[in-house]
Amino acid sequence: MSSTPAATPPAQRMPALFIGHGSPMNTLESNRFTAAWRALGASIPRPRAILAVSAHWFIPSTAVTAMAQPPVIHDFYGFPPELFAFDYPAPGSPEVAREVAEALAPAFTGLDHDSWGIDHGTWSVLAHLAPAADIPVVQLSVHSGEPIGYHVAIGRKLAPLRDRGVLVLCSGNIVHNLRQIDFHRPDLAFDWALRFDTAAKEVMATNPASLAALERHPDFALSVPTPEHFLPLAYLCGLCDAAGETPVPFAEGATMGSITMTGYVLGWPVPPATGAPAASLPDPRDVPPEQTNT
């Protein structure tokens, strides 16, 4: 996204995104996924604000960050010091937080002034999408006690914000099973992960609002052993339903066998990814993946 300050034209509807964020190491790496994120971010007009729905703010309520300067949260363990030193000092926006709460009324949405901030599900992606860190960012929590349909409905209610210059960024992974990770498969997926990701593609291409039907898929239990990384996709599904459109995949692939990196964009053309992969820091090997909060 352009870092040149400019107001979004009133008629400019912002796109909405779902990004498979994978390991927080993607913050510092240059690979085919981060190249796709960077190319997409560079093609999108500067938004008024970014509303992020991250898998890593998974709490038993619906809330939105409402502080003027949200803290940067390093919510993981066992990674190199370079990652803990990474900063993403984007401002917040109490004004946009109130607009989010109003859009979701009459359901209660708490205004969070001090308990959360910008977590790695958000900043690991924005490091590439909006590297200048000069666009206001607010985060919306993922309610841990509600079914998929609840999250799709919230996505529908967020749709008017796109016409007010707000880019909605949903960050998770369609397949995310840390207990099944295989470090010997850095660019491959298990058969069951590919089958489920393909089934999700079919839903997204035909009827995103029917996302809950995937709970009946035979590979759902392995692919979605816990819901927090899958549920951000439901918000994009609601936005698709409100727009009467389907999204387009802009990043595809998998890593470590049991994580798929598929990303979708709604309402914007997919730009070509450019840039060659650079040297990368290793993923942590001395901490069990399921204990890293990735």
The pLDDT assigned to 279 comes to 33
Q: Please, which residues have CB within 8 angstroms of residue 218's CB and are 6 or more apart in sequence?
A: none
Cα 204 from Cα 215, distance rounded (Å) = 14
The pLDDT assigned to 185 comes to 85
Sequential DSSP letters for 50-64: EEEEEEEEEESS-EE
DSSP state of 180: G
What is the CATH number that goes with domain 16-291? 3.40.830.10
* Contact assessment for residue 53 and residue 235, using Cβ atoms and an 8 Å cutoff: yes
Decide: helix, strand or coil at residue 236.
Answer: helix
pLDDT tens per residue across all 294 residues of the chain = 755 444 444 458 999 999 999 999 999 999 999 999 999 999 999 999 999 999 999 999 999 999 999 999 998 888 999 999 999 999 999 999 999 999 999 999 999 999 999 999 999 999 999 999 999 999 999 999 999 999 999 999 999 999 999 999 999 999 999 999 998 888 899 999 999 999 999 999 999 999 999 999 999 999 999 999 999 999 999 999 999 999 999 999 999 999 999 999 999 999 986 544 333 334 445 555 554 566
Sequential DSSP letters for 94-157: HHHHHHHHHHHTTS--EEESSS--B-HHHHHHHHHHSTT--S-EEEEEEETTS-HHHHHHHHHH
Give one word for 208, left, alpha or beta, with left for phi > 0 and alpha for psi -120 to 50: alpha
Closest CA to 196 of 213, 181, 174: 174
For the chain, give every domain's residue range: 16-291
Instruction: Take residue 228 and report the two structure tokens written for it.
Output: 């927090």
The pLDDT assigned to 118 comes to 98
DSSP state of 92: -
Identity of residue 77: Y
The partner residues of 143 in beta bridges, in order of sequence, read: 59
The pLDDT assigned to 186 comes to 84
* Contact assessment for residue 155 and residue 233, using Cβ atoms and an 8 Å cutoff: no
Q: Please, which residues have CB within 8 angstroms of residue 27's CB and are 6 or more apart in sequence?
A: 83, 86, 120, 123, 124, 127
* Contact assessment for residue 55 and residue 231, using Cβ atoms and an 8 Å cutoff: yes
